[in-house]
Chain A
Amino acid sequence: MSDLETFRAETAAWLEANCPPEMREPMTGEEDAVWGGRNATFKPGQKEWLDIMAAKGWTVPDWPKEYGGGGLSRAEAKILGQEMARLKCRSPLSSFGIWMLGPALLHFGTEAQKKHFLPPIARGEIRWCQGYSEPGSGSDLASLQTSAVDKGDHFLINGQKIWTSYADKADWIFCLTRTDKNEKHKGISFMLFDMTSEGVSTKPIVLISGQSAFCETFFDDVKVPKEYGEGVSSVVYEVNKGWDVAKYLLGHERSMISGGGSEGATSLGAKFADQVGRDEMGRLDDPMLRAQMAEMDIEVLAFRAMAERFGDTFKAGLCHPAQPNMMKYAGTEINKRRHELIMSAGGSEVLEWESDATNGGMTARSWLRTKANSIEGGTSEVMLNVISKQILRLPGA
Chain B
Amino acid sequence: MPLYLNDDQQMLHDSAAEFMKGEAPVAHLREFRDKQCKDGFSHALWKQFAEMGFTGIMIGEDEGGLGLGHIEAGVVLEEIGRNLTPSPFLTTAVAGVEALNAGGKALRDKYFPGILAGETVLGLAIDEGAKHRPDQIGMAATREGNGFKLDGKKQFVVQGGSADMLIVAARTSGAAGDDKGLTLFAVDANAAGVSRDSARLVDSAMAAHVQFDGVTVDADAVIGEVDDGDTVLRRLLNAGRAGAAAETLGVGAGSMDITVDYIKGRSQFGELIGSFQALQHRISHLYSEMEIARAAVLKAQQMLDEGSSKADLMVSVAKAKAGKATSLSVKEGVQMHGGVGMTDEYDIGLYMKRDRALQEFMGDVNYHTNLVAEMHGY
Contacts and interface: CB of A to CB of B under 8 A. Distances in A.
A383 B288 CA distance: 11
Chain A to chain B: the 6 pairs with minimum beta-carbon distance, closest first: A396-B275, A273-B378, A306-B295, A302-B296, A305-B299, A387-B284
Interface of B: 2-4, 260, 263-264, 272, 274-275, 277, 280-281, 283-285, 287-289, 291-296, 298-299, 313-314, 316-318, 320-321, 368-370, 372-373, 376-378
Contacts of A290: 373, 378
Given A270-B378, A278-B378, A312-B3, A306 B373 contact: no
A391 interface: yes
B313 A392 contact: no
From DSSP, what is the main secondary structure of chain B's interface residues? Answer: helix
Nearest to B296: A302
A390 B15 CA distance: 28
A305 B296 contact: yes
A301 B4 contact: no
B176 to A, nearest CB: 17
A293 B373 contact: yes
A297 B373 contact: yes
Interface residues of A, number: 44
B76 to A, nearest CB: 20
Given A302-B292, A313-B4, A392 B373 contact: no
Contact of B4 (A293, A316, A330, A387): A316
Interface string A72-94: 00000000000000000000000
A384 B320 contact: no
A346 to B, nearest CB: 16
Contacts of A272: 378
23 contacts: A269-B373, A270-B377, A283-B373, A284-B378, A290-B373, A293-B378, A295-B369, A298-B317, A301-B296, A301-B317, A302-B296, A305-B296, A308-B3, A309-B4, A309-B295, A312-B4, A318-B4, A330-B291, A388-B280, A394-B275, A394-B283, A395-B274, A396-B272
Contact of A309 (B298, B314, B370): B298
Contacts of A302: 292-293, 295-296, 317-318, 321
A318 B2 CA distance: 12
Contacts of A313: 2-4
A303 interface: yes
A394 B295 contact: no
A272 B376 CA distance: 11
Given A301-B317, A309-B298, A384-B280, A294 B369 contact: yes
